[in-house]
Structure 1
Amino acid sequence: MSNVLSFQPAMQLNQDARLRALITAIVEGRHGPSDIYWLKEVAELLGVLASEGEELPPGALDPLHDFYDRIEDQLHFFPQYYRFLLSICLDLEDLGMAGQRGQELCNWVATHKFAEAEMSDLQRAEARRLLRRRGVGAPVEDGPLARRLHRFMSRPATFALPNKKAAYELTHVVFYLSDYGRRVPVMSQNALLGLHYAGILAHLDLDFDLLAEVCAALVLAKAHVPPVWQRAVADSYHSITLFADRAAPLGDGYHQYLVSRWALGLMGARPDVPQIPAGPLRFSLPERSIGPLHGMSESLHDMGPARQADWPRMRGHILTYLTPECQAVLAEAEGATPYFETFFECFSRAAFAEGPIAKLARSGR
């Protein structure tokens, strides 16, 4: 018989200690600082902390001092990552790290016109937002770029069809226009409707990462967040398990944990930071349930030209394709917002059912 000794990490007795431990675990325990994923995860973490506007406990940013001290060299050698590096630098300073490197970096990026090399309006908007934090360049809300962003947001039908890229771009446009809560963005009613459509799709797909982003965007736009979605995001957050395991995959629930906690905080229900285990930190998501979205799409596709945009008429047919669990999620989604029926008009694609190809097939030609 042998004795097994189990060593447990010291208990973090208060929220300040747990937050310090969380920051250290993200900075030191997941990726190396030369890894693009390190830049992404650290930028996301600091961006959320800066958006929350709370004063960090003493020593919380100590793991990032060395990186901040050599950030000019990082930018000069890795200019292709300028948005991550600017974001980290500016957030560190805004969170209390002593220094003025952010102003110098913004001036350098503007002088070299890195934003002009971007192919995406979304990335150009992000670059503008970062530079304006130190008074450099035009605001996100100015000129042709702003008009294109608003045109994209103000077509709600785009966000009533399964397209995660478009949905995430919609939420991020809101994040950039609002400067993550530093100002109230100008939003058309159609843009707000598009956020609701994206939220309905996320709910039907049980995609709680996207649903948390939609909730955050609605709060930043000073719009109502359906209580059903608030509860779903809270339940999702509390289902994530934190553990330490170097052998566990890094493609985990880190982003969902972070954005869910941020969204809950914006909605006035920020949860406490849990105990942070010692070692390489991982975020384990529960096994994902299948939502009704796929069955709804399949039922409509099978109907072909016979499908209709009228939800009350189509509801019974669609329910026959769904399990009882999916039917319950669908009923919850129906009651979450007043926009479900108009969402379904777009989602059904009934207006496209009698397109030229369908007409030719029906005529036998």
Structure 2
Amino acid sequence: MSNIVTFQPLMQQNQEARLSALITAIVEERHGANDVYWLKEVAELLGILASSGASLQSGALDPLQEFYDRIEDRLHFFPQYYRFLLSICLDLEDLGINGRRGQALCDWVAQHKSAQAEMSDLQRAEARRLLCRRGVGAPVDAGQLGARLHRFMSRPATFALPNKKAAYELTHVVFYLSDYGRRKAVVSDDALLGLHYAGILAHLDQDMDLLAEVCAALTLVKALVPEVWTRAITESYRQIDLFADQNASLSDGYHLFLVTRWALGLMGAQPELAQIPAGQLRFSLPDLAVRPLHGMSESLHDMGAARQSDWQRMRGHVLAYLAPEAQVILADAEGATPYFETFFECFSRATFAAGPMPRSVRSGA
């Protein structure tokens, strides 16, 4: 005689319950609270929730209450992490946690001139953005700092060459100028062109994390996002699996998950949040598709001084270097935006192919 065992199905969480479970998982199941990676991941999650106006169920922020209650002590002992701590504190308050510590933290950071320790204009811009949320200090785009940020954005050729650091800085300047959608940001036509160039490169490299940031930045400045890019990041988001595994690498798809979901939300989609498993949460990375960018660069480099900036003349030569799958992605990139040919003029670096620099330039004479 056999025994029949009936298994109860997992209780399905609604979207608000899943969001609460996600917050708990990020706060409690990935890094310790004294780990800088904990600060980074929690700040990223709360920042996206706050800027999106997320609706949280009662108790969703309870896992962060103790951290919030002692946040002044953490700032005084870890002033080097003031941007993370300010961001977490302000977002918690904007999301509805009970307290008003953000104003005191902003005043303390301004009094101690913390931003003067920054070597990067981008980090100084982030500090300004955070302080301005409680009415402290100058706006992000004020004065010489604002002028330098706009000058950086308004050189499209910078973003037509593979340089992920520059591309991410471009998107983040837009995020800070717009305060992640809380205020209107006005950027130049050249800056918009630079965003398109960065998006073309991300598409050619199948870098969906960067492409999602470009789509978010374009949306925040009220510019149209190419439909091809929207489809690409939608598919990337759908491919991310959430699972629990304490032995899996933490170099996972967490940021990709956040930024694709956020960008799609900004564009009006409502991507469903998957069931959150119990345990140490991990995010899978989608399989890397064939990426034409490397082959394109190799084809042009091998031509040396014979390469040209005219895409229509060079198209056949470049395609000959690519596998059929890569050719399909390249064709999608061509059709996604009207700026592909001007992008290629910069990407080809044909004007740099004439020979070595003149001696007077190299010697500084």
TM-score, normalised to structure 1, is 0.95
Counterparts of 1:204 and 1:185, CA distance in 2? 28
> 3-state DSSP class of the match of 2:224?
coil
Counterparts of 1:123 and 1:211, CA distance in 2? 22
**Counterpart residue number, 2:159:** 159
Q: Compared with structure 1, are the counterparts of its residues 7 and 37 closer, same or farther at alpha carbon in structure 2 (3 Å cutoff)?
A: farther
**Counterpart residue number, 2:58:** 58
Point out 4+ residue stretches in structure 1 off by more than 4 angstroms: 5-10
**Counterpart residue number, 1:363:** none
- Equivalent runs, 1:76-95 vs 2, <5 Å: 76-95=76-95
**Counterpart residue number, 2:18:** 18
Kept in 1, the 8 Å contact 2:153–2:191? The answer is yes
> 3-state DSSP class of the match of 2:282?
strand
Given residue 307 of structure 1, which amino acid in structure 2 is its aligned partner?
A: R
Q: Compared with structure 1, are the counterparts of its residues 150 and 355 closer, same or farther at alpha carbon in structure 2 (3 Å cutoff)?
A: farther
1:188 matched to 2:183? The reply is no
* Alpha-carbon distance, 1:358 to partner: 9.9
Root-mean-square deviation over aligned CA pairs:
1.6
- Equivalent runs, 1:2-17 vs 2, <5 Å: 10-17=10-17
> 3-state DSSP class of the match of 2:109?
helix
* Alpha-carbon distance, 1:91 to partner: 0.2
Counterparts of 1:253 and 1:107, CA distance in 2? 36
**Counterpart residue number, 1:320:** 320
> 3-state DSSP class of the match of 2:287?
coil
> 3-state DSSP class of the match of 2:250?
coil
* Alpha-carbon distance, 1:58 to partner: 1.0
> 3-state DSSP class of the match of 2:252?
coil
Alpha-carbon deviations, 1:129-168, whole Å to 9, x = none?
0000000000001000000000000000000000000000
Deviates more, 1:123-132 or 1:12-21: 12-21
**Counterpart residue number, 1:241:** 241
> 3-state DSSP class of the match of 2:243?
strand
Deviates more, 1:247-256 or 1:6-15: 6-15
> 3-state DSSP class of the match of 2:333?
helix
Counterparts of 2:7 and 2:190, CA distance in 1? 56
> 3-state DSSP class of the match of 1:356?
coil
Q: Compared with structure 1, are the counterparts of its residues 7 and 99 closer, same or farther at alpha carbon in structure 2 (3 Å cutoff)?
A: farther
**Counterpart residue number, 1:343:** 343
* Alpha-carbon distance, 1:172 to partner: 0.2
Counterparts of 2:357 and 2:9, CA distance in 1? 65
Alpha-carbon deviations, 1:260-285, whole Å to 9, x = none?
00000001112111100010000011
Kept in 2, the 8 Å contact 1:305–1:358? The answer is no
Given residue 26 of structure 2, which amino acid in structure 1 is its aligned partner?
A: I
**Counterpart residue number, 2:283:** 283
Given residue 201 of structure 1, which amino acid in structure 2 is its aligned partner?
A: L
Q: Compared with structure 1, are the counterparts of its residues 31 and 134 closer, same or farther at alpha carbon in structure 2 (3 Å cutoff)?
A: same
Alpha-carbon deviations, 1:306-337, whole Å to 9, x = none?
00000000000000000000000000000000
- Equivalent runs, 1:260-275 vs 2, <5 Å: 260-275=260-275
> 3-state DSSP class of the match of 2:283?
strand
> 3-state DSSP class of the match of 1:82?
helix
* Alpha-carbon distance, 1:183 to partner: 1.0
Q: Compared with structure 1, are the counterparts of its residues 44 and 196 closer, same or farther at alpha carbon in structure 2 (3 Å cutoff)?
A: same
Kept in 1, the 8 Å contact 2:153–2:190? The answer is yes
**Counterpart residue number, 1:105:** 105
Counterparts of 2:8 and 2:272, CA distance in 1? 21
Deviates more, 1:283-292 or 1:150-159: 283-292
Alpha-carbon deviations, 1:189-214, whole Å to 9, x = none?
00000000000000000000000000
> 3-state DSSP class of the match of 1:243?
strand
**Counterpart residue number, 1:148:** 148
**Counterpart residue number, 1:217:** 217
Alpha-carbon deviations, 1:225-277, whole Å to 9, x = none?
00000000000000001000000000000000000000000011121111000
**Counterpart residue number, 1:362:** none
Given residue 353 of structure 1, which amino acid in structure 2 is its aligned partner?
A: A
The aligned length equals: 356
Counterparts of 1:355 and 1:124, CA distance in 2? 39
**Counterpart residue number, 2:253:** 253
Query: Identity of aligned pairs, percent?
Result: 77
TM-score, normalised to structure 2, is 0.95
* Alpha-carbon distance, 1:53 to partner: 1.1
* Alpha-carbon distance, 1:6 to partner: 11
* Alpha-carbon distance, 1:55 to partner: 2.5
Alpha-carbon deviations, 1:28-49, whole Å to 9, x = none?
0100000000000000000000
Kept in 1, the 8 Å contact 2:242–2:281? The answer is yes
Q: Which ranges in structure 1 are unaligned for 5 or more consecutive residues? A: 360-365
* Alpha-carbon distance, 1:290 to partner: 2.9
Q: Compared with structure 1, are the counterparts of its residues 263 and 66 closer, same or farther at alpha carbon in structure 2 (3 Å cutoff)?
A: same
Kept in 1, the 8 Å contact 2:16–2:55? The answer is no
Counterparts of 1:166 and 1:7, CA distance in 2? 53
Q: Which ranges in structure 2 are unaligned for 5 or more consecutive residues? A: 360-365
> 3-state DSSP class of the match of 1:315?
helix
